[in-house]
Amino acid sequence: MAAEIHSRPQTARPVLLNKIEGHSDTVNAAVLIPKEDGVITVSEDRTIRVWLKRDSGQYWPSIYHTVSSPCSCMSYHHDSRRIFIGQDNGAVVEFLISEDFNKMNHVKTYPAHQNRVSSMVFSLESEWVVSTGHDKSVSWMCTQSGSMLGRHYFTSWASCLQYDHETQHAFIGDYSGQITLLKLEKQTYSTITTLKGHEGSIGTLWWDPVQRLLFSGASDHSIIMWDIGGRKGRTLLLQGHHERVQALRYLQFTRQLLSCSADGGIAVWNMDTQREEAPQWLDSDSCQKCEQPFFWNIKQMWDTKTLGLRQVPTTVSHRGLEAPVTVVNPADACVCCVCVCVCVFVVCSTTAGSVERLCVGNAALNAPPSRSWALSSRCECATPASTPSKKKSKRRPSLNVFVFSFCAAAIKNAVIVCVCACVCVCVRAAEHRWPRSTRGNTTSPTWTWTHPEA
């Protein structure tokens, strides 16, 4: 499928020119062949196909090659006609395509990862193939010798990758929502910085080496533009999708950003438009305006004898500059404080019950034994059934009753406090990490289009 972008994207829509069908499973990567009316696709059905447009106007596969494992990603270099395929078993396979695009020869297989290869980039300048995988690592290998040059591990799956060929810097996005910047060298590497801003796993990255801008899309339905070249930490938050962002492409000539999401929506963003910088999220235990405590700040609530309030993010202007602060809604009471009050009430009531049971038990143990009576068969008079023994029975000491009652109450209180604490933590996490739709700069795309078959 190809899309035509007109000069005025505000009113125009993309036009469906053609659709390629033939794969029996998910297509994980597709790339246009420069200066050729053709497309290269790889799929989960373990096939690599090169489609060329025939005189009839339809695309037919000129190359149909099957590999041993499902294909997860692809990197194609047109000048050398070298193609690298990442597989589900962790291997990277290199092929060489003929000049007429009718034959493909196997060159080498690289044991890059122990699990599925998620993304891959080939650099002709350094003769490296850099790849990320679900084994939580990024690796770079030499295509001349086939040896492993280096590897770096993350705390979560590495999902996407972008590489700067001139400076040998790699941007790696992972499932924790972080983007790590690495400086790759032979047999070594160095971690430059870590970019944090997304609230979901990173799904795609795109690097513009000219303006030195990094674009990232994530499962939180948002796109962030990172100004790496400006070195001022400037970021822009773009929101317009309703599902996770899967792919990004930046057009340098028209200064437009193309994005697509899992619901089949395609959005075009005009990056020449002046936009406000997205404010950063600040962590604070009290309001920066009224200095009242939030609901998790129990110490300040106790000191000031005030009820904790919920957190609402906003921005304030001071001398013409916008700065993000955290303020509160005074009418919004705290659920956590209610849980704390319930805990205190339960603790007091169970402790009082333990003391009451102790007093009743002591009174029952210390009381003199009463005489029991039975009906006689000789007459209707009540006669004593037995004479109580003068020997006193051995009774349990009152200390044991107190210890048993106190332990039972303590266990019960501990369980209740743990449950309430879990509720408090969940409420704090939900309130502290406010959705991005209520904070930052939300910018609508120039136009959006959804595929009718999505």
- Encode pLDDT of 58-101 as tens digits: 899 999 999 999 999 999 999 999 999 999 999 999 999 999 99
Decide if pLDDT at 435 tops 90. Answer: no
pLDDT at position 349 is: 60
Please state, for a pLDDT cut of 90, what percent of the chain lies above it. Answer: 43
148-153, strands of its sheet edge to edge: 117-123, 128-133, 137-142, 148-153
- Summarize the chain as % helix, strand, coil (round to 5): 15, 40, 45
Q: What is the spatial distance between Cα 157 and Cα 246, in angstroms, rounded to a whole number?
A: 16
Decide if pLDDT at 103 tops 90. Answer: yes
Residue with tokens 């070594």: 188
Q: How far is CA 41 from the centre of its chain?
A: 28
pLDDT at position 101 is: 92
Q: What is the spatial distance between Cα 8 and Cα 18, in angstroms, rounded to a whole number?
A: 22
Decide if pLDDT at 383 tops 50. Answer: no
pLDDT at position 229 is: 82
Decide if pLDDT at 431 tops 60. Answer: no
Residue-wise pLDDT for 259-317, tens only, equals: 999 988 889 998 887 766 655 556 667 776 677 777 677 777 777 777 666 554 443 33
Strand 47-53 with 38-43, pairing: antiparallel
Domain 27-278+443-450 in CATH 3.20.20.80? The answer is no
pLDDT at position 71 is: 96
Decide if pLDDT at 7 tops 90. Answer: no
Exposure of 193 in the CB half-sphere (CA atoms within 13 A): 6
Exposure of 351 in the CB half-sphere (CA atoms within 13 A): 8
pTM above 0.85, yes or no: no
Helix-then-strand count for the chain, H and E: 3, 28
Q: What is the spatial distance between Cα 128 and Cα 108, in angstroms, rounded to a whole number?
A: 13
Nearest CA-CA partner of 276 in 304, 240, 315: 315
Handedness of CA 438, 439, 442, 448 (dihedral sign): negative
Handedness of CA 127, 148, 50, 163 (dihedral sign): negative
More confident residue, 410 or 12: 410
Q: What is the spatial distance between Cα 174 and Cα 123, in angstroms, rounded to a whole number?
A: 22
More confident residue, 232 or 35: 35
- Find the Cα–Cα–Cα–Cα dihedral 5, 8, 14, 18, rounded to 10°: -40
pLDDT at position 362 is: 54
Q: Kindly give, in sequence order, each residue whose CB lies less than 8 Å from that of residue 436, ignoring residues fewer than 6 positions away.
A: 199, 220, 222, 237, 239, 442
**How is residue 155 written in tokens?**
């705390």
Q: Where are the domains of the chain?
A: 27-278+443-450
Element (H, E) at 226: strand 222-227
Q: What is the spatial distance between Cα 288 and Cα 436, in angstroms, rounded to a whole number?
A: 20
pLDDT at position 389 is: 46
Q: Which residues of 68-101 are buried (b: 16+ CB within 10 A; e: fewer)?
A: ebbbbbbbbeeeeebbbbbbbbbbbbbbebeeeb
Handedness of CA 115, 148, 71, 223 (dihedral sign): positive
Q: What is the spatial distance between Cα 76 and Cα 92, in angstroms, rounded to a whole number?
A: 13
Q: How far is CA 75 from the centre of its chain?
A: 26
Q: Which residues of 268-279 are buried (b: 16+ CB within 10 A; e: fewer)?
A: bbbbeeeeeebb
pLDDT at position 248 is: 94
More confident residue, 11 or 46: 46
Confidence of residue 360 (pLDDT cuts 50, 70, 90): low
CB atoms within 10 A of CB 175: 20
Residue 320 burial (C-beta neighbours within 10 Å; 0-12, 13-18, 19+): exposed
pLDDT at position 112 is: 93
What is the chain's length? 454
- Mean pLDDT, rounded, of the chain: 76
Element (H, E) at 118: strand 117-123
| Backbone phi, psi, residue 15, to 5° | -110, 130
Which range of 62-66, 384-388, 413-417 scores highest in mean pLDDT? It is: 62-66
Confidence of residue 376 (pLDDT cuts 50, 70, 90): very low
Decide if pLDDT at 204 tops 50. Answer: yes
Q: What is the spatial distance between Cα 250 and Cα 269, in angstroms, rounded to a whole number?
A: 9
For range 393-415, the mean pLDDT: 64
Residue with tokens 């904070």: 439
More confident residue, 423 or 149: 149
- End-to-end Cα distance, the chain: 13
CA distances from 127 to 53, 73, 163 (A): 32, 19, 13
Confidence of residue 130 (pLDDT cuts 50, 70, 90): very high
Residue 240: helix, strand or coil by DSSP? coil
For range 189-202, the mean pLDDT: 92
